[in-house]
Amino acid sequence: MTTFKLLLMTFIGIIAADKYTKLYNLVCDTSPKWAENVTCDLKVMGRNVVFANMEMDVKRPLNNISVHFQIFKFYNQFRPFIVDVSFSVCDVLSKKSESNFYINSMLRILSKFSNAVKCPLNGHLYARNLEIKYQYFKVFMEEGKYRLNFYFFEGYRLNSVGNATIYVEIFQKYIRPTKKNNSDNKSVVAI
Ligand SMILES: *[C@@H]1O[C@H](CO)[C@@H](O)[C@H](O)[C@H]1NC(C)=O
Ligand SMILES: *[C@@H]1O[C@H](CO)[C@@H](O)[C@H](O)[C@H]1NC(C)=O
Ligand SMILES: *[C@@H]1O[C@H](CO)[C@@H](O)[C@H](O)[C@H]1NC(C)=O
Ligand SMILES: *[C@@H]1O[C@H](CO)[C@@H](O)[C@H](O)[C@H]1NC(C)=O
Ligand SMILES: *[C@@H]1O[C@H](CO)[C@@H](O)[C@H](O)[C@H]1NC(C)=O
């Protein structure tokens, strides 16, 4: 937020309130060697609430699954944005490996929405009513469009199990104060 924009908004009496996110696309590609009966879609729950739902049947147990996670931000095209990590999902699930802030956040989210919480991952796997909340990204994200790429591998890099691509937009909520008050109680949120 530029100072100019903030001044302008103060002048015309619009206040920048909290931010919110909205999922706007979801793409899943899975390898027929590993997965079957795959569904992957967005469910619109309300004006600004969209849930992601993913279901699949795993054909063979996943014992050593790893993920490469990358975030892109849209400028005039999607460009790499801060996060680019790879880690062993099984090691993290079994707490065998040190995890950092992003991985911990992801695990918290995963355990809330998904049954993929313990290796080997097998049978029917799902992530249901997954909401990408702004709070999850608050620390480092500004308004704009983002693409979250998840590349899943079993054992080694070339053995692709599947990819999930989530598109999210972060909006700034603007509100117009209901009443002008002469006591000049400024409540413009600093950004
Ligand atoms: C996942 O993405 C990688 C990198 O683009 C690609 O090599 C791989 O084939 C994809 N996997 C599937 C199952 O589509
Ligand atoms: C996929 O669905 C079909 C029909 O419900 C079922 O027979 C099959 O076992 C499923 N595949 C796997 C890998 O579970
Ligand atoms: C698990 O996969 C990693 C690569 O992602 C590999 O280095 C390691 O040897 C594998 N472990 C086992 C037990 O197969
Ligand atoms: C403006 O604010 C003052 C103090 O907060 C309050 O006493 C007054 O009633 C308010 N006036 C209006 C028009 O809301
Ligand atoms: C100014 O606004 C804040 C938040 O709305 C309120 O808590 C505070 O009492 C107000 N101060 C005055 C002087 O009205």
Contact criterion met (CB below 8 Å) for 130 and 53: yes
So where are the chain's domains? 17-175
Ligand approaching nearest to the C-alpha of 38 = 2
| Chain-centre distance for alpha carbon 29 | 17
pLDDT for 8-50, tens place per residue?
Answer: 555 555 555 678 888 999 999 999 999 999 999 999 988 888 9
pLDDT for 56-89, tens place per residue?
Answer: 999 999 999 999 999 999 999 999 998 898 888 8
Give CA separation, 74 vs 14, 55, 78, in Å: 26, 28, 4
- Provide CATH code, domain 17-175: 2.60.40
Alpha-carbon span 77 to 55, nearest angstrom:
30
For residue 125, give the nearest of 25, 28, 42 by alpha carbon. Answer: 28
Distance between Cα 180 and ligand 5 center (Å): 13
**Residue 108 has which token pair?**
């918290």
**Residue 98 has which token pair?**
């040190």
Over range 106-122, report the average pLDDT: 85
Ligand approaching nearest to the C-alpha of 37 = 2
Q: What is the pLDDT of residue 165?
A: 96
Ligand 4 binding pocket includes 180 (Cβ within 6 Å):
no
Query: Which comes out higher in pLDDT, residue 151 or 91?
Result: 151
Alpha-carbon span 21 to 115, nearest angstrom:
24
pLDDT-derived band of residue 189, with 50, 70 and 90 as boundaries?
Answer: very low
Distance between Cα 127 and ligand 1 center (Å): 20
